[in-house]
Structure 1
Amino acid sequence: MTHQTDHSELIGFQTSFDLRPDAVFRPSDSDDVIAAVRHAADRKLSVAVEATGHGRPGPVTGGVLVSTKGMDRVTVDPDARTVRVQAGVRWGQVVAAAAPYGLAPLNGSAPSVGAVSYTLGGGLGILAREFGYAADHVRWLDVVTADGHMHHAVPGSELYWALLGGGHRLGVVTELEIGLVPVRTLYGGSLAFDGREVEPAAVLRAYEAWTRTVPDGLTSSFAAVPYPDLPALPPHLRGRYVVSVRVAYTGDDGDQLVAPLRKTGPVLADSLREMPYAESHTIHSDPDFPHTYYGDSAVLSELDAADAGGELLRLTGPDTGAMVVVQVNHLGGALARPAGNSVPWRDGRFLVRLLTMGEREKARALLDPAFEVLAPRTLGRAVNFAFGAGDRGEGLYDPGTRKRLAGVKSTYDPANLFGDGYGVSA
């Protein structure tokens, strides 16, 4: 295990916030994690854990950082349709390991995201409406808690329930086993429109109406992005306000289902096609380079696309002078099914995610008014999409879930070695 005080492990995908711990541990196995946690506990130092740095809640000063990047073993059991992943594994590794067997994980849109941290926050994946949250498919987890001991958490236990949905501050999960699904190919891609030729609010209204007609097995999202006019961007994106609908579906009638959307207006780009699951990351084409960003989310009971949706796009569009990424995920389907974990807001119909660049206070001044427009229909927020907004604990859990999480926290981390858990204190 590497124990250091320099900053070589501190560069994460989200570069908005500095990590300045007193010490950095880079474990190579579970014994190293135990040693790191005991080191921190003996010195009464706080512990932060990071694999890839995609969803940093904010800056970290002092304490111990456990960087799990070196724990990257992936083991597929094709007969059981499961995969075991260590704490530093990224989803791209799992997709590649499962593909030869005609299997797929319930990964998200970006292959560089850490599989374990994503799953602990619930895990809203490419095929989420068909199969549910990634957390719903976890068989077991190994976790080192604040007392420096390893626990094997299985379904039915309080620790298992709490880790999956609220596990970011309960310990260091060193490995988990999760189910794979028999998916070799899918129908997916995006339909993009020029937001200066087609009214963005009209596309959003058409999208919301369309979601009421599709089967539970079809997963989709709406996005609106005002791209700057920069040479580094592809020519068809420079200076454009691009409005798009992204689709992922394992059925054989995808073209027929998407046909109504093609009538919305002139199509700027159409990438919808049958594809190997290994190419599913091209549906969203998320950035693959570290950069500065801040964002938050709102889980909605409904989306009033005619009024609130139009105002949302007005407040985040190109006239703001900033690049604000709007994404609206269609929820429901298998995501609404109850499960033995702490993933909240399963009755939500949409998830709105807003993300922008720049310093946190300026970003909040831009995004907060947009979230206020959505407030009447907002159930809560999503832990995995609090990009820099993790200091705002309100709304991440319903009162009952929050109380139960606090009870588990008081059992396994009464001194808050791992912090206050996004507003869940011991």
Structure 2
Amino acid sequence: MKTFIPGQDGYAAATAGFQTGVRSAPELVVAAEGARDVAEAVRHANAYGLTVDVEATGHGRRTPAEGVLISTRRMTDVAIDPARATARVGAGTTWGAVIAAAAEHGLAPLSGSAPGVGVVGYTLGGGFSLLGRRYGLAADRVRSAEVVTTDGTIERTTDAGAGVVTALEFGLVSVTSLYGGGLYFDTLRLPDILRAWRDWTTDLPDALTTSLALIPYPDLPMVPQPLRGKHIAHVRVAHLGAGGPELAAPLRAKGPLVDTLTTMPFTESGAIAAEPPIPHAYLGDNRVVAHLPDSTLAAILEHAGPGAPVPTVLIIDLLGGAYAHSTAPDFTPQSRYTVRALSVVETTGPDPIRAAHAKLFDPLATTGRLRSFVYGQPFRPGS
């Protein structure tokens, strides 16, 4: 275990996370290497009346850590039990490590779109997977958790919310490959593609998980030329089993600028969304809706399209399928789509972003809000 205090070498690196827009300045950072270190940190915080925050990669950081920050990023052990089709991972493990280890046994986790995201934070928030419409939430696959309770005791439990989770054991699925990738459409096609994707998703099999993103790509050399400087509609597809090309045919017929749909090993599934791996500052929020009427699509284009005053990445996820049977508290029986908005803080201050997101969400007939996709701001259930 290593510890850091303000001004000490290593403190800045220990408090840095993928979310750079929320700056933490804790009194103490505990770089934990195991559950005993976490327990000691909790007992120290109790003795001195300090708050406790826990972080691995920092993707979902919402508010600054102030008292004791327990960094779990060194706790990266992964153990696969192929006979039981389970994985046991440390609190700092990222999905990329689990995907690689599970693939050696013909298995896959219910990981999300970005392999660099931490397993534990993702799962405790629900866990919306590339395979989610077939297999449900990652949280529903948890078998047990190693938890440090609020008094600094280490316990093994099935209640992963009872303290600081230091390890998770969860079920894997027998998946080695999928048909997936993306279809990228030009700016002038956005209204048509939004409607086409909505209509396409009304009757898809559970084997297909999909989302649509509206992305304002910057005019920079690192962006591929067909997309550079354009506001793009990116349809993401992950399909299990046969028939993927036939299902995707109606959207492919729309004439995308770029088509990356192919059969791929699950180890390459991070390429489907192709999300940027570089830390940055962002604010994000979401709502859940039962339907996507034309009025909702019009609001999306107005407040997150090419003419929006604040550049916004807008993502719509198709729910349904196995999600419909989830017991997650943020769901209702009517949950069908998520509408997510994310904006970079460096280009626009936080207040204009919050105002722009409010204009997007306020007109929507929402059925809920998911804690998984709230970034750079507190989450209050029901808000």
What TM-score range do you get, normalising by the shorter chain?
over 0.9
Q: How far is the alpha carbon of 1:300 from its aligned partner? A: 1.0
| Unaligned residue ranges in structure 1 (runs of 5+) | 155-159, 397-426
1:272-320, CA deviations, whole angstroms, 9 ceiling, x for partnerless residues? 110000000000001111011110010112222x111122122112222
Q: How far is the alpha carbon of 1:72 from its aligned partner? A: 0.5
SS at match of 1:20: coil
CA distance in 1, matches of 2:113, 2:335: 20
CA distance in 2, matches of 1:150, 1:127: 33
Aligned to 2:41: 36
Aligned length: 375
Q: How far is the alpha carbon of 1:346 from its aligned partner? A: 5.5
Aligned to 1:412: none
SS at match of 2:316: strand
Q: Tell me which of 220, 244, 254 is aligned to 2:234.
A: 244
1:171-206, CA deviations, whole angstroms, 9 ceiling, x for partnerless residues? 21000100000001100011111022x1x1221111
RMSD over aligned CA atoms reads 1.4
CA distance in 1, matches of 2:46, 2:123: 26
Instruction: Provide the identity percentage.
Output: 44
Q: How far is the alpha carbon of 1:385 from its aligned partner? A: 0.4
SS at match of 1:181: coil
Q: Tell me which of 363, 366, 378 is aligned to 1:373.
A: 363
1:119-173, CA deviations, whole angstroms, 9 ceiling, x for partnerless residues? 000000101000000001110011112111122222xxxxx2xx4xxx3xx5210
Aligned to 1:274: 263
Contact 2:180 2:263 in 1 (8 A): yes
Q: Which has the higher contact order (CA 8 A, sep 6+)?
A: 1
SS at match of 1:9: helix
Off by >3 Å, runs of 4+ in structure 1: 341-347
- Give the 5 Å matches for 1:253-332: 253-263=243-253, 265-304=254-293, 306-332=294-320
Give the AA of the match of 1:173: V
The reply to whether residue 118 of structure 1 matches residue 109 of structure 2 is no
The reply to whether residue 202 of structure 1 matches residue 192 of structure 2 is yes
SS at match of 1:296: strand
Contact 2:181 2:236 in 1 (8 A): yes
SS at match of 2:12: coil
CA distance in 1, matches of 2:333, 2:58: 26
Aligned to 2:321: 333
Contact 1:228 1:323 in 2 (8 A): no
CA distance in 1, matches of 2:52, 2:231: 42
Aligned to 2:4: 4
The reply to whether residue 100 of structure 1 matches residue 99 of structure 2 is no
CA distance in 1, matches of 2:156, 2:272: 36
Distance 1:345 1:7, change over 3 A: farther
Aligned to 2:222: 232
Of residues 170-179 and 101-110 in structure 1, the stretch that sits farther from structure 2 once superposed is 170-179
Contact 1:335 1:346 in 2 (8 A): no
CA distance in 2, matches of 1:313, 1:145: 46
CA distance in 1, matches of 2:381, 2:239: 34
1:215-248, CA deviations, whole angstroms, 9 ceiling, x for partnerless residues? 1121000111121222332222211111121110
Of residues 319-328 and 202-211 in structure 1, the stretch that sits farther from structure 2 once superposed is 319-328
With normalisation by structure 2, the TM-score equals: 0.95
1:335-383, CA deviations, whole angstroms, 9 ceiling, x for partnerless residues? 11144x6563454100111000113222102211001121x2x112111
Contact 1:223 1:325 in 2 (8 A): yes
Of residues 5-14 and 72-81 in structure 1, the stretch that sits farther from structure 2 once superposed is 5-14
SS at match of 2:15: coil
Aligned to 1:149: 153
Q: How far is the alpha carbon of 1:70 from its aligned partner? A: 0.8
CA distance in 1, matches of 2:259, 2:295: 28
